[in-house]
Amino acid sequence: MGDNEIKITVKFCGRPIPITLSPDSTVLRLKNLLLPLTNVLPRGQKLIFKGKVLANEETLGVAGVTNGVKLMLIGTQGVHQGDGPILKEAQSPITSRKTDRVRDMKMVPVGKTSSERWKATGVIAMAEHNLKAIPDEVWDCSPFIRVLDIRTNSIQCVPDQIDGLTGLKKLLLDANDLSNDSISWVQLAKLKHLTVLSISRNCFYSNDALMMMISLNSLPGILGHLTALQHLDVSNNKLTTLPTEIGLLSKLEVLKANNNRISFLPESIGNCTSLIEIDLSSNLLSELPVTLENLHYLKALHLDNNALKSLPTTLFSKCVQLSTLELHNTEITMDALRQLEGWDDFDKRRRAKHQKQLDFRVMGSTEFDEGADKS
């Protein structure tokens, strides 16, 4: 702690959060520091000291906050991000549901008939098979496999043998027990025909006495070697950023990275010029790179539940196919959007798409649908 710093404790949902900062810092600055620690947006935070709600513009010193002081934080419902406010340590709901399903399932053995079917179809479908490891029989079929679906198991490792699946196009690894170091990324990156990689929901608790949360919280730069990739789903993990090398994925059309803890988006995202849909909702983003204007094919951008205060000024004028923009629970106002160049054209596209959806629902139903006018 520096000479001109104070250490305070913020109590939130029954747990203390220690913070060190200058007494000249504003209350808003403190709220921004609390954002990644609580998942509550600054505008949803109420900091209380001696029965008084502290104003954003006042400094801690003026408010009487000194070294060793304790503050109370109340988070307003509906203005959080990620998986909601970080409460007392508890088992992840996703992990709990997955564990319950896996516990109820029996291990499904791999027989000769299965291997023959895999070779004939090129598809291995072993989701919810209570697997703790990828069966050896998979590697015996390596040259024939196009799709490997091993979602919702308890697989803890993607071994070096993965590079033997030279014809693999789809790899589905969602809802397993994978972490940063348990995936052989160097070998996986050799899959030059891979078009779909889905690795969402890999957060789990260790089985030891410590019950530590283990998660996928980073992606390696070598991911950029998967140059055929068109669909990447890394949602519902604990990622804090995306690698700069993601810009090498020039064929990527869909990027799903929602429900992480991403606070920074690399400028190289603008090199992914084939992107049609991006989902970055429920993260910790406070700004977006200007290079998003290079995504001329972008149609849908999901940014709900972030700390964003503005958009790149040329987003609407450059991304001329954008028709879906979700900004719920951000700090961006409608007035600010209307000031951006290209807003009118974007609004026309948005309304036209919405009307088309309504027309489709009405024409496709033989009965009156009371929900037909809902988005």
CA dihedral 227, 232, 237, 241 (to 10 degrees): 50
Q: Is the pTM of this model over 0.75?
A: yes
- Residue 34 near residue 45 (C-beta atoms within 8 A): yes
pLDDT band at 77; cut points 50, 70, 90: low
Please give the C-alpha separations between residue 317 and each of 130, 149, 270, 321, 340, in angstroms, as whole numbers: 50, 40, 15, 10, 8
pLDDT tens by residue, 16-62: 999 999 999 999 999 988 988 888 888 889 999 999 999 999 999 99
% of the chain residues with pLDDT over 90: 73
Neighbouring CB atoms inside 10 A of 327's CB total 19
Summarised one tens digit per residue, pLDDT across range 264-297 is 999 999 999 999 999 999 999 999 999 999 999 9
Q: How high does pLDDT run on average in the chain?
A: 86
